[in-house]
Amino acid sequence: MNKQRAKEIASSPVMARVAFNNQPIYIQHVDETNGTARIYPINQPENELEVSLNELHELS
């Protein structure tokens, strides 16, 4: 996923369908410098991860 789209999703009040390892996730924050995002699985908000933007996929 590109940085700009990840930032749009993170700041939008509308929940976008995004996946990491085929699991639906929520993007909390995008780190443009490192090309990463802080995410957590939709059903496990206590399990935050820092992952590469390249590993995120928007679902249609």
Model pLDDT for residues 11-53, shown as the tens digit of each residue: 999 999 999 999 999 999 999 999 999 999 999 999 999 999 9
Q: Check residue 58 and give left, alpha or beta (phi > 0: left; psi -120 to 50: alpha).
A: beta
Token pair for 50: 């820092």
The ranges assigned to domains in the chain are 3-58
Which pTM value belongs to this model? 0.91
Q: CA dihedral in degrees (12, 14, 20, 25; nearest 10)?
A: 110
Token pair for 9: 């999703």
CA 2 to chain centre: 11
Closest among 2, 7, 6, 42 to 26, alpha carbons compared: 42
Q: Residue range 47-60: average pLDDT? A: 96
